[in-house]
Amino acid sequence: MAPSLVVSAMHSHAVAHRRGRRQRVVVASSGGASPPPKLVTFLGKGGSGKTTAATIAAQYYASEGLKTCLVVQSQDPTAEQLMGSKIGNSLTECAANFSAIKLETSKLLLEPLDRIKKVDAQVNFTQGILEGERNLEFLRSSFFSAGRSNSQPEFDVIVYDCNNTEETLRLIGATDRARSYLRYVRDLAEKTDMGRLASPSLLKLVYDSARPNGKTSEGRLSTEIWNEIEQLLEVWFADPSKLACFLIVDPRRSISVSSALRYWGCTTQAGGQICGAFGYTEDPSEMHQEVAQKFLPLSLSFLPFLPNDSSADWSRALSSLSQNAKEQLRNTSTLVYPSVSFDSVQKSLSLFMPDFDKSEIKLYQYRGGSELLIEAGDQRRVIKLPPTMQGKPEFCGAVRFNFQPK
């Protein structure tokens, strides 16, 4: 139901403590009074160093006293090699404030159904139909992982490393699609006889299974639950303080630079925000400065080279991090560049879509002209229009595009 690793994770892993006793550890939670962990991820062309950057970031956050978890969605041993320790499918405590876990999709697929079945056993909504059902595995995505209980969040930061940038973008974009489908489902639930009859019980069944923000449906109206779900879907991936996406680029390879610029536009189209860019260099040159100019107003900071054939000297690696790199990793709550700008005077809309060409973008008005559907790349995005811009067929022709930052 919830659109992220942090929100949708529900399972608590029991892991061995260093002293031998077993301890319950929460990888992620949205419950309780404390804020949920920040999710950090890196996007870029394969071979550009995403896993190395994720490991450096996780080590840095831990060194700053933040309880950090590195989540690896890959069979690539790079992270294990850099850390000098094995990463398993249960939490591994690697150092002070630093744990790691490797996601294995097959072991996570049935978790959402199991949660629904447990709630259904209490409310008896499906009269036992769900019992024994094991054919809904496709409902689970590998991104919606591993760790929540009713206790307070255990981690301050979760660094997510996926070997496939396209998969990460699709999952970020799934949030916007879920919002669109949610509106349709809500209309059916509130405006049809069948929906008004069945939806309250079904809605509460799903809500109590996921329990966003640690709440239950008890004593709450269906309207309140619908509104909360829609708000969760709307703000999560668009808020860089909750999800920080960074680009990874190899300044020596033009294809890596081009791919990073494209992923910037794709992330914007998917509804996410890029907070900055990182590259690798031992000696910044004029070439690197030229590359940095292409990413303005994003800041391009450089990370130290780390050998992959042995474990890294993390004390030395972290001490060699530039002040710019540290600031960039810390300060992710500032919106670098708005993806949508409304001009109420001119009654116009500006879209910021880096690296896209106008011929690649299609615009449609729907829902009576109250929303604008944008198709670009393999993503769809829906923008709700201000009242003064709604219902005007000529509006699509007046949309302005910014393909490069000003």
pLDDT digits (tens, 9 = 90+) for 65-121: 999 999 998 888 888 888 888 888 888 888 889 999 987 655 554 455 465 556 556
Q: At which of 336, 367, 393 does a domain end?
A: 336
Same domain, 116 and 189: no
Same domain, 202 and 157: no
Give the pLDDT score at 180. Answer: 67
Same domain, 12 and 113: yes
Give the pLDDT score at 323. Answer: 92
Same domain, 12 and 135: yes
For residue 211, is it left (φ>0), alpha (ψ between -120 and 50) or beta?
Answer: left
Is 246 in contact with 42 (CB distance < 8 Å)? Answer: yes
For residue 376, give the CATH number of its domain: 2.60.40.790
Same domain, 192 and 204: yes
- Which range marks the domain in which residue 151 is found? 1-176+229-336
pLDDT digits (tens, 9 = 90+) for 232-278: 666 555 565 678 899 999 888 899 999 999 999 999 888 888 999 99
Same domain, 63 and 132: yes
Give the pLDDT score at 173. Answer: 76
How many residues make up the chain in this entry? 406
Q: At which of 187, 213, 228 does a domain end?
A: 228
Give the pLDDT score at 98. Answer: 92
Give the pLDDT score at 388. Answer: 75
Distances 109 to 112, 136, 156, 259 between C-alpha atoms, Å: 7, 8, 26, 31
pTM for the structure as a whole: 0.72
Give the pLDDT score at 164. Answer: 84
Same domain, 171 and 216: no
Ranges of residues in the chain whose predicted pLDDT is under 70: 1-35, 104-153, 175-184, 186, 188-189, 194-222, 225-226, 229-241, 282-287, 334-336, 393-406
The Cα 15–Cα 98 span in angstroms is: 14
Same domain, 39 and 89: yes
How many domains does the chain contain in total? 3
The Cα 231–Cα 243 span in angstroms is: 16
